[in-house]
Amino acid sequence: MRTTYELALNNIGLSLGDDQFSIETSNQETLVGIGTSVICFDIHNFSDRMNVDTYMSRNSKDGFSLETPTERILALFEYFPKLEDINVGLGSTTPYVGYKTVQSSLENVTKAMLIAILEENSKRGYVVGIGSTTLKKNKFFNCLKNLEYRNNSIQPWSDWNQTVGVCTPVSIARTDNIATVVTNPAHGMSTSYDDWGVVMKINTGVATSFNISTSLYPNGVPIKIINSNTFTYRNAGVNTSIISINGTADIKVGWGGTTNNLHLLLT
Partner 1 sequence: MSFNWPEIPFTGAEVEAFVDAYIELAESIIDDYDNYIIDPRELKSPYRYKENTKLFLEYGLLYSAFIIKQRAGNSGPGTNFILESSPYNKSLTDAQKRKIAEFMGCVWDPKQMKDSYDENVKDDPDGDLPDCKDVVVQTEDGANITPCDIIDDLVGDGEKPPCGDFWNSLRNFWKESNGYPPESEEEPSCLAIVLPSLISTIARAIDQGLALMYALMVEYLKGSGGVVDNYKLNLITLPQVNTDLYLLDRITELMQRPKGSHKFGGYSIKLLPDNSSIYGVTGGRVWLVSSADDIRFPTLKNILGDFTVVTDGTETYSIDSSVLGNDRDTPTGKAYFTSLSSSSIKQVRDDYDFDDYGWKLVRSLEGNDRPGESFDNSQIESGFLYTNSTTAPCEAVLQGGTAGKDFYSGTARWIVANTHGTGRKEQGEYGPNKPCQGKPFAIKLLY
User: Is residue 259 a contact point for partner 1 (CB under 8 A)?
Assistant: yes
Say whether residue 55 binds partner 1 (CB under 8 A). no
> Least distance from C-beta 105 to partner 1, angstroms?
4
Question: With 0-12 CB in 10 A as exposed, 13-18 as middle and 19+ as buried, what is 124?
Answer: middle
Taking CB under 8 A as the rule, does residue 35 contact partner 1? yes
Residue whose CB is less far from partner 1, 31 or 216: 31
Residues 6+ apart with CB under 8 A from 235: 174, 177, 178, 179, 210
| Part of the chain binding partner 1 (CB under 8 A), chosen from 102-110, 181-189, 202-210, 228-236 | 102-110
Compute and round to an integer the Cα radius of gyration of the chain.
Answer: 20
Nearest-approach distance from CB 201 to partner 1, in angstroms: 30
Indicate whether 82 belongs to the interface with partner 1 (CB under 8 A).
yes
Query: Taking Cα atoms as reference points, which of 226, 222, 225, 224 lies closest to residue 212?
Result: 222
| One of 20, 44, 68, 173 touching partner 1 (CB under 8 A) | 44
Q: 169 near 182, Cβ under 8 Å? A: yes
Binding to partner 1 in span 195-224, by CB under 8 A: none
**Using the 8-state DSSP alphabet, how is residue 100 labeled?**
H
Question: Whole-angstrom distance between the N-terminal and C-terminal Cα of the chain?
Answer: 21
Residue 138 CA to residue 95 CA, distance in Å, equals 31
Beta strands at 262-266 and 38-44: parallel, antiparallel or unpaired: antiparallel
d(C-alpha 176, C-alpha 20), whole Å = 11
Q: Which stretch binds partner 1 (CB under 8 A): 24-32, 167-175, 217-225, 242-250?
A: 24-32
The residue (of 232 and 260) whose beta carbon lies closer to partner 1 is 260
88 lies in the site for partner 1, by CB under 8 A = no
β-partners of residue 224 are: 232
| C-alpha distance from residue 93 to each of 75, 85, 86, 87 (Å) | 17, 11, 11, 8
Count of positions on this chain that bind partner 1 (CB under 8 A): 68
The answer to whether residue 243 forms part of the interface with partner 1 (CB under 8 A) is no
The answer to whether the Cα torsion of 152, 157, 158, 164 is positive or negative is: negative
Could you say whether residue 137 binds partner 1 (CB under 8 A)? yes
Least Å from the CB of residue 183 to partner 1:
27
- Is-contact 249 82, C-beta < 8 A? no
For partner 1, the closer of residues 67 and 208 by Cβ is: 67
Binding segment for partner 1 (CB under 8 A), chosen from 114-122, 175-183, 211-219, 231-239, is 114-122
Binding site for partner 1 (CB under 8 A): 3-4, 6-7, 9-12, 14, 24, 27-28, 32, 34-35, 37-38, 40-41, 44, 57, 62-63, 74, 78-80, 82-84, 101, 104-106, 108-110, 113-114, 116-118, 124-128, 133, 136-137, 140-141, 144-146, 149, 255, 257-267
